[in-house]
Amino acid sequence: MKPKLVEPAPPLAQIESDLDALLRDGKPIRRDFANGNRLHMDRPLPFLCVHVGSHQDAAFHVVSANASYLIAADIGLASEVALLVARMMRDHCGAFLVLDIGELAEDRFLTEDIPFLPPFEIALACGNTAAEKAALKRFADAASAREAKYRTPRVDDLTPTTRAEATLWSELGDAACLMVRFAPIYRVPGTKRVYPELHDLVVANMVDSALQAISAFLKASRLEPPATHRSLGRRAYIDAVVRADRAIDDVASTFDFLLAVTPINAEPAWLEFQAGVFERMPALLYRPLEFEVAAQKRKLYSVSLDHLEDPLLTRLLSEKQQELDLQLSMLAARETPRFAELGRALYGSVEPSLAARARSILEKVPQVASAARQKGLDADAVAAAARDMIARYRAAYPEFDASVEIRGDLPAGLLVSRNQLLVSRDTNLPSERLTALLSHEIGVHLLTYFNGDAQGLAIFRNGLAGYEGMQEGLAVLAEYLVGGMSAARLRLIAARVIACQAMLDAARFEEAFRILHKDFGLDDRSAFNIVLRVYRGGGLAKDAIYLRGLAQILDHLRNGGSLTPFWIGKISAAHFGAIQELNARGLLRAPRLEPAFLSSDTARPRLKKAMAGIDPIDMVET
């Protein structure tokens, strides 16, 4: 007869030692023990979320998304560990709440005879103290205020004596407890399959409701509640998050999207177009790709986001995966009709309101008389000035490790690629544009790269998905703040929108050129340069984002918004809420640098004017 296997006793002595180190030294706990059990506490907190049972259900992901949680295989282990944590943390924090979170056995409101999606069940129970009851009420209110993809929660009472799911209740003694059970609405009825989007939404909603309940518990316990319930969330990245971020960065680092779609023969292309009397699109040449697109896509989607224990970070990294996937698809479709359509998915169409604003600018802002192209600052002079500005930033922050490279394979102008400023050998820059252009490229693009690099995750330096619009809006605002927004510059930004609209409406290269040159009065070389940018690769809608982003940032300032959050890294307007949450949770550092131009006497009155409310057309200075 085989000896009976005895389940090892929970390592209470180890856990007690971990808790001592947490309270004494602030050392986080991430203790794994038998059968997938885990205690995780990233700092001393007045709560512990507990899940007993399956690692395959949404309740497991709700619990493991928190900064303080216990995953246990059985009730006995869960109660022993939870009581130990509760005793030690209650003495330290002044109050302590155990949140026992699990799932109901079935989605009992969903039946075949109901012709529409009914409410779904959330059952709650708690102890008799006023603080526990306050936590229950706040959870109920928060959960009831949300919809989970077409179905509205209905909160009922959970009776511990009649529900098998509630057995932990009787084991917790005098520890304050809130019990939560919710229907498994994320599962496909009658199967083990799940609706992934609905699963993620349920998890996010339950996590937020739980944090609100904890905040109410603390207030009712006459303790200082947090400024926001979100600050009770995680304040440390677990290893799985860091690994996933690095793996996605490895793919992002293999290519520079804009360099890959920028022609290397801009000057010969102009001469060819000019020789053809502006009636034939010139041949455009591109750098050969140094990687296999399919291989990079396989690598990209081999990055698992299943165990990050943080719904918000999972969403941000998933969005970045999808954006990189789209960029890789565009590179595979370079110089084919599919390129423009994929670009429409990446950058969007030109909305009627944006096109109308661009046309208004071109009609109202006076044309600058076309003159012979004068000798301006060459590439060497611009590069020298750029190195001087970079040196000033480096003096304030030694990690500002940017370099400047002069390249012969770029159209005239400047381009930032990660931590490099690339200067075209063909650059011929009017001296009055120097400060504005360097503020755009160095004071915004490079500065946010290095500030993002200091945040601990590469995604903040590479850019959250969709970040480019806000980046370019900030960069154009920088030009205005340093006094560099001329009529010619604003007209050029507006003309880019018109060219993008023409391209997306299937106009040919030469037709878009004629619209800018004949209809809106741009000189032939300026019109060509704009159309070249828009038709590169097969048609790139990116250039509409400059005016769109500028309008967004002006609206943000008009509504009392601050610029400070935008300096922490490369973020989009759509992620402003996510940044606020991560900041509240202590996962983001204050920007290491703010743009030098913000503190200048030139910028202050212009920023004040922008905050009072202006239109892009009001930025032109005569």
Query: What's the pLDDT tens digit per position in 562-596?
Result: 999 999 999 998 898 899 999 999 999 999 999 99
Q: Which two tokens stand for residue 414?
A: 């400047």
Quote the pLDDT of residue 113.
Answer: 52
Question: How many Cα atoms sit within 13 Å of 302 on the Cβ side?
Answer: 11
Q: Which two tokens stand for residue 200?
A: 């993620």
Nearest to 252 by CA among 537, 410, 463: 463
3-state secondary structure of 585: coil
Quote the pLDDT of residue 257.
Answer: 97
3-state secondary structure of 610: helix
Beta strands 120-126 and 153-157: pairing type? parallel
3-state secondary structure of 22: helix
Model pTM above 0.85: yes
Quote the pLDDT of residue 157.
Answer: 85
**Alpha carbons 461 and 263: distance in angstroms, whole number:** 26
**Alpha carbons 20 and 6: distance in angstroms, whole number:** 29
Quote the pLDDT of residue 375.
Answer: 81
Quote the pLDDT of residue 150.
Answer: 62
Quote the pLDDT of residue 121.
Answer: 87
Q: Which two tokens stand for residue 569?
A: 């890294």
Give just the sign of the alpha carbon dihedral 541, 546, 547, 553: positive
| 314 membership: H or E segment, kind and range | helix 311-332
Q: Which two tokens stand for residue 353?
A: 């309101």
The string of DSSP letters for 223-286 reads S---SSGGGGS--S--HHHHHHHHHHHHHHTT--HHHHHS-S-HHHHHHHHHHTTT-SPPP---
The answer to whether 390 and 402 are in contact (CB under 8 A) is: yes
Positions of the chain with pLDDT under 50 = 1-9, 115, 164
Question: How many Cα atoms sit within 13 Å of 128 on the Cβ side?
Answer: 2
Q: Which amino acid is at 429?
A: L
Quote the pLDDT of residue 114.
Answer: 52
